[in-house]
Structure 1
Amino acid sequence: MTPQFVLTVGHDALMLLLMIAMPVLGVVMAVGLLVSIFQAVTQIHEATLAFVPKLVAAVAVFVFAGPWMVSTLVDFIRRTIESIPSVVG
Structure 2
Amino acid sequence: MSIIFAVLAGFIMGGGLVGWQLSRRWQQQVREAEQSLQAIADQHQQEVQAGKALKQQVADLQFQLNQARNEVRALQPPAGR
RCO higher in structure (CA 8 A, sep ≥6): 1
Bigger Cα Rg: 2
Give the shorter-chain TM-score range: 0.3 to 0.5
TM-score, normalised to structure 2, is: 0.35
